[in-house]
Amino acid sequence: MKKYYIHILSTLFILFSVNVSSQNVTEKGVASIVLDRATCRDGKPADRNKQIEAVEKAKKSAWEKYTSNLSSDKSSAYYALEEKYLSELDKYITDYVILTANCSKTDRNYTISIRATINDTKFTNALTAKSKSSVAQKNLQGQAVVVLVVPRKTQEATIFDARVTKQSMSKKGLSADEIVSSDEGSVSVTEISSETQSLTVGGSTKQQATKRVYDIGDLNAAYTQITNVLVPLGMRTFDIARLESQAVRAGYDPFLKEVLDQFSGKIGDYGANISPQKRNEIVNLISDLGKGRLNYFILGTVDSSVARQDPDTGSYISDVLVNIQLFTIDDFFGAESIAAVGPEMKSAFGLTDAAAENAALKKAFNEATSSLILKL
């Protein structure tokens, strides 16, 4: 019976497909050009070629600002092929809006600022595909990876008071003096003694780690974002919920609720993290059910903060903390970590708190997954 369900599992891989969505980011670009003999007309250079030159220069300015904020892994891959990407800017800058423009006849220059829209997902996919592939990256093509990345938001945090232990040591000493006096042929000796005491104080402070309880977010959304990066690389993604479903049908016990309770901090002794025992159970399931077809496992957390309002722009900003690992699965050795990202902070803006949080999550999933592959 177990072999029958394993056959169904392998068939599902062949039928599996996903839809890939894109994520856009915006950057401001500024440019100034010399007009030479050209004059201004209606606030623009009379020579249309000069207008185009200014726009292209501003687009490049926006692009340089965008690439300056890439992660170290992305940055290395980008600068290795920078000239090629610069020659293909229109593939990634999908739109732009002119914010300001000033044409000066006196100074003979034209200054322009734009807001450029950049297809971040398309660039990331191209960056990963065009980067110099290692043997490990090539081995990923056609492989299936089980995904368990848990989005979380802090529900409550218990901060414990520091426990202070003090030790003291006292030392006592005795000293004596003699006073000799004479009076008309008689001599008297008087002894005066005094006691001194010194006190040395030391100790230590012990601080218990903050205990956090998390709300678990949308696992399906996290899975979709990671899939958007891996599928263009030729990988097959396999949802952890589907793994549990296949496991139950094959006679194994359900495991996902306990795993999520551990990640939420409701149970367990590992600080809102999966226990080594439970992780090994999942690895064994991957090995037993996959029979060589499930060779990789992505495991981690993405923790979002409560969005805060930017006093200057009025928009909202959300921070996300990423911790993700990529494991290779071996029937004998189990799970071996081959790449890791985090702890690493990602931030994004939005018109509302919900929009900022969603943008930050998308950015975190996209960049962290790409960084995993680029590290190989």
pLDDT of 33 above 70: yes
Rounded mean pLDDT, 36-65: 89
Structure tokens at 364: 């975190």
Residue with tokens 């293909």: 88
pLDDT of 11 above 50: no
Per residue in 266-280, pLDDT (tens digit) is 998 888 899 999 999
Q: What is the structure's pLDDT at 148?
A: 93
Residue 12 lies in a domain: no
Query: Using 50, 70 and 90 to split pLDDT, how confident is the model at 18?
Result: very low
Q: Examine the domain organization and report whether 118 and 179 are in the same domain.
A: no
Q: What is the structure's pLDDT at 102?
A: 93
pLDDT of 162 above 90: no
pLDDT of 10 above 50: no
Q: Examine the domain organization and report whether 107 and 147 are in the same domain.
A: no
Residue 350 lies in a domain: yes
Q: What is the structure's pLDDT at 196?
A: 57
Query: Using 50, 70 and 90 to split pLDDT, how confident is the model at 21?
Result: very low
63-72, 83-92, 168-177, 241-250: which has the minimum mean pLDDT?
Answer: 168-177
Structure tokens at 336: 């071996």
Q: What is the structure's pLDDT at 355?
A: 87
Q: Examine the domain organization and report whether 224 and 359 are in the same domain.
A: yes
Residue 298 lies in a domain: yes
DSSP 131: S
H helix and E strand count, the chain? 12, 14
Rounded mean pLDDT, 189-208: 54
d(CA 159, CA 135): 46
Q: Examine the domain organization and report whether 56 and 69 are in the same domain.
A: yes
d(CA 320, CA 364): 7
DSSP 162: P
What range does the domain containing 343 cover?
A: 133-158+213-376
Q: Examine the domain organization and report whether 146 and 287 are in the same domain.
A: yes
Q: Helix or strand or coil: residue 121?
A: helix
Q: What is the structure's pLDDT at 315?
A: 83
Q: Examine the domain organization and report whether 106 and 152 are in the same domain.
A: no
Q: What is the structure's pLDDT at 334?
A: 81
How big is the chain by its Cα radius of gyration, in Å?
33
Residue 166, C-beta contacts closer than 8 angstroms, at least 6 positions apart: 201, 202, 203
Q: Examine the domain organization and report whether 169 and 286 are in the same domain.
A: no
Residue 301 lies in a domain: yes
The 10 Å Cβ neighbour count of residue 29 is: 24
Residue 10 lies in a domain: no
Query: Using 50, 70 and 90 to split pLDDT, how confident is the model at 137?
Result: low
Phi/psi of residue 255, nearest 5 degrees:
-135, -20
Structure tokens at 41: 């007309």
> Of 142, 176, 206, which marks where a domain is finished?
206
- Written as one letter, the residue type at 292 is G
84-93, 112-121, 149-158: which has the minimum mean pLDDT?
Answer: 149-158
User: What's the structural domain count of the chain?
Assistant: 3
Strand locations in the chain, DSSP E? 24-34, 40-41, 44-45, 93-104, 109-119, 144-158, 163-183, 186-206, 211-216, 236-239, 294-304, 308-309, 316-330, 334-350
Q: Pick from 119-128, 193-202, 209-218, 269-278 the range whose average pLDDT is largest.
A: 269-278
Q: Examine the domain organization and report whether 45 and 125 are in the same domain.
A: yes
Q: Examine the domain organization and report whether 84 and 61 are in the same domain.
A: yes
Residue 355, C-beta contacts closer than 8 angstroms, at least 6 positions apart: 316
> Of 88, 114, 132, which marks where a domain is finished?
132
Q: Examine the domain organization and report whether 139 and 127 are in the same domain.
A: no
Residue 3 lies in a domain: no
Q: Examine the domain organization and report whether 54 and 176 are in the same domain.
A: no
Q: Could you tell me which of 246, 349, 302, 232 has the C-alpha nearest to residue 2?
A: 246
Chain mean pLDDT for the chain: 79
d(CA 305, CA 318): 6
Question: How far does the chain reach from its first CA to its final CA, in angstroms?
Answer: 38
> Of 174, 206, 238, which marks where a domain is finished?
206
Q: What is the structure's pLDDT at 305?
A: 84
Query: Using 50, 70 and 90 to split pLDDT, how confident is the model at 54?
Result: very high
pLDDT of 179 above 60: no
CA angle, residues 68, 96, 72, in degrees to nearest 5: 15
- Written as one letter, the residue type at 17 is S
Residue 81 lies in a domain: yes
Residue 16 lies in a domain: no
Q: What is the structure's pLDDT at 129?
A: 72
Better-scored residue on pLDDT, 198 or 361: 361
68-82, 121-135, 280-294, 358-372: which has the minimum mean pLDDT?
Answer: 121-135
Q: Examine the domain organization and report whether 168 and 284 are in the same domain.
A: no
Under 8 Å between Cβ of 329 and 368: no
Phi/psi of residue 318, nearest 5 degrees:
-125, 140
pTM of the model: 0.60
Per residue in 279-298, pLDDT (tens digit) is 999 999 998 888 888 889 99
Rounded mean pLDDT, 209-233: 83
Better-scored residue on pLDDT, 130 or 302: 302
d(CA 359, CA 345): 13
